[in-house]
């Protein structure tokens, strides 16, 4: 057990729950508070991407008179979001609320494994999930991937807790076993309605834990009888989340289609082979460094081949192979974070079986200071070299700091190896908390629709909201109402359907009908239109779907890359799909 926990007799525990709180509970509260801030603040700041818009629009369309909704890729997201819309209204923030809630829940779950991980290990695992940029962006994306990750984590928690309880005897132990069996099947039911991502995680669990699964199936299934059968709540959860609580039965078919969608993600040709790996390196540098160490530690030091740390290592390997086979599927990066965070947490708990000594704390503080010096001077060098290429002052300071780290590490490590290891882990963790929090905040709050970010593929331009607002102004001036204007759009985009959803008289089609006299028309940019009357127009950005080829190759590609990593500054030009909003000229003359 970790030094942060103590063993007490149940009769000695205070009756007041507040008196039972420990420092570890307080640390967990701070982690969850920080998680909630990163997941919930400004949820609607970035426009919904086309994929997000299609899912949100389907949930909204279900409640419209005569509307038919297509469940899409996530029946669970559809059911839960559609349940909120009549009470909370439809907005970008509400469309992302359900994933954000599950994103916070993912960070909570490792605390249920503190008997297995130890208090230190559980806190480290929760902290790594909280500061993970990929977990943050998944939790702020409308869809079912965050639900899938929560379901997978719930299965892992239930599985390990069931293993812990299976060795005990008595009625109380049987009740605990049944409780965690129920949690396992509830997670399975939730995952089967979430998204195709769930099946990748399920495959990793099945391969990594197959010896234990055989024991589980042999021991657990025989106990499923009577009113304690865990299948019953699982079936209820599956049917309820697939069918919007029996209001949308076609969602059952959508849930059944998820495995086929997952299989379609396998691609053995084309671009993007290493994109998920590069994204993991970009957004999860601490897990990259500590995860490799943790996998090596688990394989070399764990005596039992079926220990859960070794199984977690196999799960990591399976997911990495899956990332290579499903080219460009970025959500697999967030899937890899789950076992990596748990394994690093287990390694951290083993490392901190004893409290760090004064030497360990001193080394942690000194190393953190030197890492800060290296980082600051690296950033300064990236700034200065573009205007003063001969100034190598920052580079020399970095070199001195690196030399100081290596020399101190050698001499102190020979003297106090454990103290140096503990201090190094604390310093590197503290440094990457600062770094990854900033990267995650940038990605989720300001750059979620920037294709220069490796995570982003196709995004919605900020101009779409301005287009909708201007169209609303025209309608208000023309009809006195916000959404009564007649609109025809020859551009059929999920983003347009979502942001113009309140315009009841909008039509979508491939081409403008002959002799059409709509009060407003939306057409592709640079399209040849034959309009029946005089129209005025303005162009707006609709989609950001990549980067333009660089016309002038950079003479300092390494510095350009470094400036992008540190400051998100790039000379690359974003490729946009633009549209033109036309409105009848007589509306401007007579309106208002």
How high is the pLDDT of residue 171?
52
Specify the DSSP class assigned to residue 535. Answer: E
Question: What does the pLDDT look like over 189-215, one tens digit per residue?
Answer: 999 999 999 999 999 999 988 766 666
Question: What does the pLDDT look like over 533-571, one tens digit per residue?
Answer: 678 889 999 999 887 776 555 667 778 888 888 888 887
How high is the pLDDT of residue 30?
96
Question: What does the pLDDT look like over 423-437, one tens digit per residue?
Answer: 999 999 999 999 999
Instruction: Give ∠ CA 521-526-531 in degrees, rounded to 5.
Output: 40
How high is the pLDDT of residue 349?
94
- Enumerate the β-bridge partners of residue 523: 580
Which of the residue ranges 69-73, 92-96, 272-276, 401-405 would you say has the lowest mean pLDDT?
69-73
How high is the pLDDT of residue 328?
87
Q: Which residue has the higher pLDDT, 509 or 460?
A: 460
Name the pLDDT band for 162 (thresholds 50, 70, 90): confident
User: Residue 227: pLDDT above 60?
Assistant: no
Instruction: Give ∠ CA 262-264-266 in degrees, rounded to 5.
Output: 90
Question: What does the pLDDT look like over 330-353, one tens digit per residue?
Answer: 999 999 999 999 999 999 999 999
Q: Report residue 118 as tokens.
A: 């130890």
Q: Say how many C-beta atoms besides its own lie within 10 A of residue 480's C-beta.
A: 9
Rounded to whole angstroms, the Cα distance separating 138 from 331 reads 8
Percent of the chain as helix, strand, coil, to the nearest 5: 65, 5, 30
User: Which range has highest mean pLDDT (270-274, 514-518, 547-551)?
Assistant: 270-274
How high is the pLDDT of residue 2?
46
Rounded to whole angstroms, the Cα distance separating 137 from 134 reads 5
User: Residue 13: pLDDT above 70?
Assistant: no
User: Residue 72: pLDDT above 70?
Assistant: no
Report residue 402 CA to chain centroid gap: 34
Which of the residue ranges 31-45, 95-109, 347-361 would you say has the lowest mean pLDDT?
347-361
User: Residue 226: pLDDT above 70?
Assistant: no
Specify the DSSP class assigned to residue 456. Answer: -
Three-class DSSP category at 547 = strand
Q: Which residue has the higher pLDDT, 453 or 571?
A: 453
Specify the DSSP class assigned to residue 507. Answer: E
Is the four-CA dihedral 273, 335, 122, 309 of positive or negative sign? negative
Q: Which residue has the higher pLDDT, 267 or 221?
A: 267
User: Which range has highest mean pLDDT (299-308, 353-362, 555-564)?
Assistant: 353-362
User: Residue 157: pLDDT above 50?
Assistant: yes
For strands 459-460 and 506-508, give the pairing: unpaired
Mean pLDDT, range 79-86, rounded to an integer: 94
Instruction: Give ∠ CA 294-296-301 in degrees, rounded to 5.
Output: 95
Q: What percent of the chain is modeled with pLDDT above 70?
A: 86
The phi, psi pair for 67, rounded to 5°, reads: -80, 150
User: Residue 271: pLDDT above 50?
Assistant: yes
Name the pLDDT band for 449 (thresholds 50, 70, 90): very high
Which of the residue ranges 107-111, 395-399, 530-534 would you say has the lowest mean pLDDT?
530-534
User: Residue 161: pLDDT above 60?
Assistant: yes
User: Residue 21: pLDDT above 90?
Assistant: no
Three-class DSSP category at 5 = coil
Three-class DSSP category at 174 = helix
- Enumerate the β-bridge partners of residue 544: 459, 576
Name the pLDDT band for 174 (thresholds 50, 70, 90): low
Mean pLDDT, range 243-254, rounded to an integer: 90
Q: Which residues contact 99 (CB under 8 A, 6 or more apart)?
A: 77, 138, 139, 140, 141, 142, 143, 144, 145, 146, 147
Helices assigned H by DSSP within 193-301: 197-208, 210-220, 231-242, 251-256, 258-264, 275-283, 285-301
Three-class DSSP category at 488 = strand
Specify the DSSP class assigned to residue 326. Answer: B
């Amino acid at each position: 057990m970790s030094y942060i926990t103590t063993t007490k007799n149940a009769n000695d525990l205070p009756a007041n729950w507040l008196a039972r709180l420990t420092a570890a509970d307080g640390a967990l509260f701070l982690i969850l508070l920080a998680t909630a801030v990163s997941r919930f603040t400004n949820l609607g700041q970035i426009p919904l991407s086309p994929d997000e818009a299609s899912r949100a629009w389907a949930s909204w369309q279900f409640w419209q008179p005569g509307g038919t909704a297509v469940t899409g890729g996530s029946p669970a997201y559809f059911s839960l979001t559609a349940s909120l819309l009549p009470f909370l209204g439809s907005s970008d923030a509400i469309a992302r609320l359900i994933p954000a809630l599950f994103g916070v829940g993912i960070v909570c779950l490792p605390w249920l494994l503190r008997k297995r991980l130890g208090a230190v290990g559980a806190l480290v695992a929760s902290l790594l999930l909280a500061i993970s940029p990929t977990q943050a962006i998944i939790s702020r994306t409308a869809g079912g991937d965050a639900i899938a990750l929560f379901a997978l984590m719930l299965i892992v928690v239930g599985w390990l807790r069931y293993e812990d309880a299976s060795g005990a005897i008595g009625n109380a132990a049987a009740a605990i076993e049944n409780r965690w069996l129920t949690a396992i099947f509830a997670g399975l039911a939730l995952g089967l309605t979430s998204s195709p991502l769930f099946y990748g995680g399920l495959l990793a669990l099945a391969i990594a834990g197959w010896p234990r699964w055989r024991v589980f199936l042999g021991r657990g299934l025989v106990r499923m009888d009577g009113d304690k059968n865990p299948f019953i709540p699982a079936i209820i959860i599956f049917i309820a989340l697939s069918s919007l609580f029996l209001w949308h039965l076609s969602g059952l078919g959508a849930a059944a289609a998820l495995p086929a969608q997952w299989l379609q993600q396998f691609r053995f040709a084309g671009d993007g082979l290493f994109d998920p790996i590069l994204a993991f390196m970009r957004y999860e540098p601490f897990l990259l460094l500590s995860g490799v160490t943790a996998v090596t530690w688990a394989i070399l030091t764990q005596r039992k081949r079926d220990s859960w740390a070794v199984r977690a290592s196999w799960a990591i390997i399976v997911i990495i192979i899956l990332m290579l086979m499903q080219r460009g599927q970025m959500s697999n990066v967030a899937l890899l974070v789950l076992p990596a965070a748990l394994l690093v947490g287990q390694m951290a708990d083993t490392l901190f079986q004893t409290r760090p000594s004064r030497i360990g704390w001193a080394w942690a503080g000194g190393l953190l200071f030197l890492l800060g010096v290296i980082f600051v001077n690296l950033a300064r060098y990236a700034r200065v070299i573009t205007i003063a290429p001969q100034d190598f002052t920052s580079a020399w300071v970095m070199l001195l700091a690196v030399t100081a780290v290596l020399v101190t590490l050698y001499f102190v490590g020979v003297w106090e190896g454990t103290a140096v290891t503990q201090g190094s882990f604390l310093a590197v963790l503290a440094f990457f908390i600062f770094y990854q929090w900033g990267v995650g905040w940038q990605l989720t709050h300001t750059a979620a629709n920037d294709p220069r970010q490796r995570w982003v593929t196709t995004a919605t331009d900020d101009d779409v909201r301005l287009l909708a607002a201007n169209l609303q102004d025209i309608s208000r001036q023309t009809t006195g109402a916000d959404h009564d204007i007649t609109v025809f759009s020859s551009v059929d985009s999920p983003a347009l359907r979502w942001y113009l959803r309140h315009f009841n008289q909008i039509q979508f089609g491939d081409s403008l009908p002959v002799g059409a006299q709509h009060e407003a028309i939306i057409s592709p940019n640079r399209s040849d239109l034959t309009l029946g009357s005089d129209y005025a127009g303005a162009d707006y950005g609709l989609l950001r779907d990549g980067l333009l080829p660089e016309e002038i190759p950079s003479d300092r590609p390494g510095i350009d890359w470094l400036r992008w990593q540190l400051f998100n500054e790039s000379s690359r030009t974003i490729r946009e799909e633009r549209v033109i909003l036309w409105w009848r000229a007589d509306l401007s003359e007579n309106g208002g």
